[in-house]
């Protein structure tokens, strides 16, 4: 406001001063020129009157000055100084004596003499007296300019007020909003847009900027949170990895221990068997020791393989309707030696009527055996373990209860974790690998059941509960009976191809003891050569043969006329659907997954012989 007014005032003052100076100069010159012109005109006009001595004509000429009110008096002088004619004609006016030519300014009066000359002859002179109103003129002008200036200042003031309304107010509003945003950290605040002009655009831009800042701030916060979360997760993952690493080390130590443990009695037993003078009862005892220890090792390795399959997602279970009782019996039989060794009692309580569940019989038996073994291991000698089953709602609940060392509260949540161990106070050799419970839980879950553990505390014993879905309609489903090993065994010509010489040789010996005619080959060439002499009915082919692999060998056998009808069975470490598909395409009738036991081969032979 003040700036506007001051600027206007200075500008107007400068303009006024310049105009005043110019006006004074101009008006002064104008007055002089006017007087001079007037005198000149009068001089020329009165030449004839003077030449021919006609004061009347001169007076008439001077009368024309009536139209010039600024000229007060005028006169024509004769050369000898006498008055020739005057204006006004009346003698009220007084005239000065003839003076030298030129202009004289006295106060507000301008006086001038102008000689009248014609043909170099001095005829007389003109005298003019006019008002020299320069001061009045200046005064008027100053008044006028002052008025203009005042008006200009007023207009400028109004303009300033108006500008303050349309510019300063929105800008002040923006400033207030900016302060509020800074103070309250609230980016949703907006300045009100009141006009459509540039200031309005400014407000709009400011609001847009606020929105942008808001978005950026939110995005930054979100990413910050995400980063924090990620960091936390990574820390946890790192900690978990460290724990897992530690457990792996412990596991490896335990594994070595567990694998080493059965070897000592086995070596002793073999030494006894090798001694020539060992009597029959001792030899039988030694064989029993070897068989038991070996079985424990096989179980250990089987568990490891299962865990490996589970963690790599390769373990599959078959959901079939099976009866519970035989499975429990199977598991009890498996665990029996341990109970006998520790003089513990295993009580089994089953409902009187048969119970059917949807499960994989072998895997379910494995789970129960595992739980029973566990219970025996963590109970005192001579203790009692109970396995009870009952139907609860739509589910079967199987509980394995022991009065053993129990599980402390802080271990309980981690009891099913891989490689989890109880307290270090436990005897190491009885703690096992720490994979049994984890494997059992996964197997149960694969069969759509649950496995939970509970314990009142250390020394209070523990309860493991398996819950499985019951099969609703029992009558309509055919219960699959596990194949009986005591079936009729026909004799077959068998070709067994595996580069593992020990495996192939021992399996061949077992098959031969069952009455089959077995030929063994360790690579494809041997296998093809042997078929020239004897054409096999069945050929067991290891897929991972050196040189020509099992698939290629299968194609060769299919191509040879004499072996075209031979039934091919694949032996593989891989049992995924994709692997099975691939072997079927290669011409195999069956795909067996290692480890392969005699029973599996017998069953396959029985099934395929019927198909032939």
Partner 1 sequence: MSAFRVALRRLLGLALGGLVAVSVSPVDAQQRPYSAAEVKAAFLYRFGTYVEWPQPAAASDPIRIAVLGAPNVAMQLATYLPGRSIQGRPVQVRPIERIDDVGDAEVLFIGEDRSSTLTELIAALGKRPTLVVTDAVDGLKHGAMVNFQIVDQRVRFEISLRKAQDAGLMLSSVLLSAAIRVETSSCSRDCHGPLAPPQFALFWPFEPLEA
Interaction residues for partner 1, span 419-458 (CB under 8 A): none
Interaction residues for partner 1, span 123-182 (CB under 8 A): 125
User: Cβ 113 to partner 1, closest distance in Å?
Assistant: 8
Confirm or reject binding of residue 53 to partner 1 (CB under 8 A). yes
Among 5, 19, 83, 189, binds partner 1 (CB under 8 A): 83
* Residues 115-134: x where in contact with partner 1 by CB under 8 A, - otherwise, as a string: x-xxxxxx--x---------
Interaction residues for partner 1, span 507-536 (CB under 8 A): none
Compare residues 120 and 427 and give the one whose CB is closer to partner 1. 120
Are the beta carbons of 465 and 451 closer than 8 angstroms? yes
User: Cβ 25 to partner 1, closest distance in Å?
Assistant: 22
Compare residues 49 and 521 and give the one whose CB is closer to partner 1. 49
Confirm or reject binding of residue 88 to partner 1 (CB under 8 A). no
Cβ count within 10 A of residue 113: 19
Confirm or reject binding of residue 90 to partner 1 (CB under 8 A). no
Structure-token pair, residue 504: 């192939």
Confirm or reject binding of residue 352 to partner 1 (CB under 8 A). no
The C-alpha R_g of the chain, in whole angstroms, comes to 65
Contacts 24+ apart (CB under 8 A), 258-267: 258/300, 258/432, 258/433, 259/297, 259/300, 261/429, 262/293, 262/294, 262/296, 262/297, 263/293, 265/289, 265/290, 265/293, 266/290, 266/293, 266/294
Confirm or reject binding of residue 36 to partner 1 (CB under 8 A). no
From 390, 337, 335, select the one nearest 366 (Cα to Cα).
335
Task: Determine the Cα–Cα distance for residues 158 and 152; give it in Å rounded to an integer.
Answer: 10
Among 19, 27, 54, 320, binds partner 1 (CB under 8 A): 54
Q: What are phi and psi of 376, to 5 degrees?
A: -65, -45
From 594, 589, 593, select the one nearest 605 (Cα to Cα).
589
Total residues at the site for partner 1 (CB under 8 A)?
A: 30
Confirm or reject binding of residue 21 to partner 1 (CB under 8 A). no
CA 178 → CA 172, 173, 210, 249, distances in Å? 10, 9, 9, 62
CA 51 → CA 43, 44, 57, distances in Å? 12, 11, 11
Compare residues 44 and 390 and give the one whose CB is closer to partner 1. 44
Confirm or reject binding of residue 51 to partner 1 (CB under 8 A). yes
User: Cβ 121 to partner 1, closest distance in Å?
Assistant: 7
User: Cβ 64 to partner 1, closest distance in Å?
Assistant: 12
Compare residues 82 and 425 and give the one whose CB is closer to partner 1. 82
User: Cβ 41 to partner 1, closest distance in Å?
Assistant: 15
Task: Determine the Cα–Cα distance for residues 112 and 36; give it in Å rounded to an integer.
Answer: 8
Confirm or reject binding of residue 606 to partner 1 (CB under 8 A). no
Confirm or reject binding of residue 78 to partner 1 (CB under 8 A). yes
Compare residues 119 and 281 and give the one whose CB is closer to partner 1. 119
User: Cβ 37 to partner 1, closest distance in Å?
Assistant: 16
- Strand stretches in 297-338, DSSP E: 320-323
Confirm or reject binding of residue 610 to partner 1 (CB under 8 A). no
Cβ count within 10 A of residue 573: 12
Task: Determine the Cα–Cα distance for residues 442 and 262; give it in Å rounded to an integer.
Answer: 27
- Strand stretches in 183-290, DSSP E: none
Q: Alpha helices, DSSP H only, in 392-492?
A: 428-431, 436-446
Confirm or reject binding of residue 81 to partner 1 (CB under 8 A). yes
Confirm or reject binding of residue 99 to partner 1 (CB under 8 A). yes
Task: Determine the Cα–Cα distance for residues 103 and 38; give it in Å rounded to an integer.
Answer: 13
The string of DSSP letters for 278-335 reads --HHHHHHHHHHHHHHHHHHHHHHHHHHHHHHHHTT------EEEEHHHHHHHHHHHH
User: Cβ 38 to partner 1, closest distance in Å?
Assistant: 19
Confirm or reject binding of residue 57 to partner 1 (CB under 8 A). yes
Compare residues 43 and 418 and give the one whose CB is closer to partner 1. 43
Confirm or reject binding of residue 92 to partner 1 (CB under 8 A). no
Task: Determine the Cα–Cα distance for residues 452 and 458; give it in Å rounded to an integer.
Answer: 17
Compare residues 79 and 337 and give the one whose CB is closer to partner 1. 79
- The number of C-alpha atoms within 13 Å of 567 and in the hemisphere containing its C-beta is 18
Compare residues 39 and 433 and give the one whose CB is closer to partner 1. 39
Confirm or reject binding of residue 47 to partner 1 (CB under 8 A). yes
Task: Determine the Cα–Cα distance for residues 22 and 277; give it in Å rounded to an integer.
Answer: 153
Contacting range for partner 1; rule: CB under 8 A; set: 53-61, 407-415, 417-425, 593-601? 53-61
Confirm or reject binding of residue 388 to partner 1 (CB under 8 A). no
Task: Determine the Cα–Cα distance for residues 374 and 358; give it in Å rounded to an integer.
Answer: 24
User: Cβ 109 to partner 1, closest distance in Å?
Assistant: 21
Confirm or reject binding of residue 82 to partner 1 (CB under 8 A). yes
User: Cβ 48 to partner 1, closest distance in Å?
Assistant: 4
Q: Which residues bind partner 1 (CB under 8 A)?
A: 47-49, 51-54, 57, 60, 77-83, 97-101, 113, 115, 117-122, 125
């Amino acid at each position: 406001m003040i700036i506007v007014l001051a600027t206007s005032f200075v500008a107007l003052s400068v303009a006024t001063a310049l105009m005043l100076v110019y006006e004074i100069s101009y008006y002064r010159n104008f007055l002089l020129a006017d007087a001079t012109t007037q005198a000149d005109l009068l001089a020329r006009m009165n030449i004839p009157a003077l030449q021919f001595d006609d004061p009347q004509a001169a007076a008439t000429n001077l009368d024309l000055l009536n139209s010039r009110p600024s000229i007060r008096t005028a006169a024509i002088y004769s050369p000898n100084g006498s008055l020739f004619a005057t204006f006004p004609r009346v003698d009220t006016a007084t005239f000065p004596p003839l003076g030298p030519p030129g202009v004289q300014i006295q106060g507000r009066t301008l006086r001038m003499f102008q000689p009248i000359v014609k043909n170099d002859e001095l005829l007389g002179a003109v005298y003019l007296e006019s008002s020299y109103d320069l001061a009045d003129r200046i005064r008027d002008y100053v008044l006028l300019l002052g008025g203009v200036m005042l008006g200009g200042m007023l207009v400028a003031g109004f303009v300033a007020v108006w500008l303050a309304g349309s510019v300063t107010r929105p800008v002040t509003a923006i400033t207030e909003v900016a302060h509020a945003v800074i103070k309250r950290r609230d980016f949703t605040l907006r300045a009100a847009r009141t006009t459509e002009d540039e200031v309005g655009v400014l407000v709009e831009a400011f609001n847009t900027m606020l929105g942008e800042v808001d978005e950026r701030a939110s995005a930054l916060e979100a990413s910050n949170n995400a980063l924090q979360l990620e960091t936390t997760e990574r820390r946890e993952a790192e900690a978990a990895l460290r724990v897992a690493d530690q457990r792996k080390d412990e596991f490896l130590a335990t594994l070595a221990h567990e694998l080493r443990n059965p070897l000592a009695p086995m070596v002793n037993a073999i030494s006894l068997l090798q001694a020539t003078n060992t009597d029959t009862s001792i030899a039988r005892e030694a064989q029993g020791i070897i068989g038991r220890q070996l079985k424990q090792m096989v179980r250990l390795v089987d568990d490891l393989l299962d865990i490996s399959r589970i963690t790599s997602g390769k373990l599959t279970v078959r959901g079939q309707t099976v009866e519970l009782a035989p499975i429990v019996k199977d598991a009890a039989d498996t665990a029996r030696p341990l109970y006998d060794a520790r003089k513990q009692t295993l009580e089994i309580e089953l409902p009187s009527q048969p119970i059917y569940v949807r499960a994989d019989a072998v895997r379910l038996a494995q789970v129960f055996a595992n739980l029973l073994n566990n219970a025996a291991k963590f109970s005192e000698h001579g203790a009692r373990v109970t396995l009870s089953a009952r139907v609860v709602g739509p589910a079967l609940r199987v509980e394995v209860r022991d009065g053993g060392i129990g599980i402390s509260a802080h271990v309980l949540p981690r009891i099913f974790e891989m490689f989890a161990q109880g307290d270090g106070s436990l005897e190491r050799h009885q703690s096992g690998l720490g994979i049994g419970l984890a494997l059992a839980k996964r197997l149960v879950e694969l069969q759509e059941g649950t496995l939970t553990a509970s314990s009142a505390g250390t020394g209070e014993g523990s309860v493991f509960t398996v819950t499985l879905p019951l099969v609703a309609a029992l009558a309509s489903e055919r219960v699959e009976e596990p194949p009986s090993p005591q079936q009729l065994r026909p004799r077959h010509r068998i070709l067994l191809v595996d580069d593992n010489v020990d495996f192939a040789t021992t399996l061949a010996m077992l098959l031969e003891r069952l009455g089959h005619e077995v030929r063994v080959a360790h690579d494809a060439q041997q296998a093809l050569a042997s078929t020239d002499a004897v054409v096999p009915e069945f050929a067991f082919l290891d897929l991972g043969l050196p040189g020509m692999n099992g698939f290629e060998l299968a194609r060769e056998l299919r191509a040879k006329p004499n072996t075209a009808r031979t039934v091919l069975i694949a032996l593989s470490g891989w049992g995924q659907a994709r692997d099975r598909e691939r072997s079927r395409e290669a011409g195999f009738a069956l795909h067996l997954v290692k480890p392969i036991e005699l029973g599996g081969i017998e069953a396959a032979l029985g099934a395929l012989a019927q198909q032939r």
